[in-house]
Amino acid sequence: MLTLRDLETWTFPGTALAVVGHPIRHSLSPLMHNTALAALADRDPRCADWQYFRFDVPPADLARALPLLHAAGFHGLNLTVPHKVLAFTQVAAVDDAARPVGAVNTLLRRPDGWKGFNTDGYGLATAVQETLGRDLANSPVVLLGAGGAARGAAVECLQRRCASLWIANRTAQNLTALLGALRPVAGDIPLHGFSPAQIPAGLPAGAIVINATSAGLHADDPPPVDLAVLPRPACVFDMIYNPPLTPLLAAARDLGLPHANGLAMLVHQGAKALEIWSGVPAAQTAPSMAAALATATQPA
């Protein structure tokens, strides 16, 4: 694990990539990307000298870190919590698709600075299709949460033309703010908000339920919603991948609902980032990334 102090004497003869976050020690991104780069180098000599690092950078230091990493010659960066929203206003340019999200998780080096992208939405949509066989397009979606992760998921659902989007959040003020930000993106797609404690009569059955809250990171966390009181969903996707079985997913299992955690989302957002940096299609690198994570997350 590296810090900004390491950039004072930084020398690397190859193409450097990195993930930046705080904390970052737990990140699986270096394993995932370096495994993919090793496999890619076998058929693409251009990637033989590429390597992926990790930097622990507190939020207060991000504005200083981004120019330093650019000056050090880093080709691309991934950003994780809490930097995705902070970096949105600190980069030279933002990809059009990332603008409604208000957050970036992937940066590409340009001569004038960093260009920001957001691959989380692609990762979500691809993971839901891969693990649950469901397409966000034309499907009703029930989204749990109103934070940054929820906003990214909501924008992806709306951009892919979901049939309707229902957002549940306990804090009414945050929910109202998110709905207001999403209405220009939604257009004619029905967009509604509700409290998970008060299930509305119009909530559709057969919805894709997506958890974008942090509820489930700890074993004693209550589920963000009681699945038993919802009209029977088509499936449940939890963006959390550690632990692999959250209380929400355990409830889905007990109800006999198809369910999946966020590990595949981690893979596909990473593969899309590597596509932005290298031009290699995400579908080509995702399998090696998935294999690396499957080995790393197997119980001892």
Chain-centre distance of CA 240, in angstroms?
10
Active site residue 84: yes
Region(s) of the chain under CATH 3.40.50.10860: 4-118+264-296
Mean pLDDT calculated for residue range 203-229:
95
Fold exhibited by the domain 121-261? Rossmann fold (3.40.50)
Q: How far apart are CA 167 and CA 280, in angstroms?
A: 35
Q: How far apart are CA 14 and CA 209, in angstroms?
A: 43
Give CATH superfamily name and number for 4-118+264-296.
Answer: Leucine Dehydrogenase, chain A, domain 1 (3.40.50.10860)
Q: How far apart are CA 250 and CA 56, in angstroms?
A: 33
Q: Which residues contact 70 (CB under 8 A, 6 or more apart)?
A: 109, 113, 114
Phi, psi angle pair for 161, to nearest 5°: 65, 55
Q: How far apart are CA 152 and CA 163, in angstroms?
A: 17
Which position among 54, 70, 83, 84 bears the catalytic label?
A: 84
Tell me the per-residue pLDDT of 35-79, one tens digit each, with 9 for 90 and over.
999 999 988 888 999 999 999 999 999 999 999 999 999 999 999
Q: Is 145 left (phi over 0), alpha (psi -120 to 50) or beta?
A: left
Average pLDDT, the chain: 95
Statement: residue 299 has pLDDT above 80? no
Tell me the per-residue pLDDT of 91-102, one tens digit each, with 9 for 90 and over.
999 999 999 999
Region(s) of the chain under CATH 3.40.50.720: 121-261
Statement: residue 298 has pLDDT above 70? no
Q: What is the pTM of this model?
A: 0.94
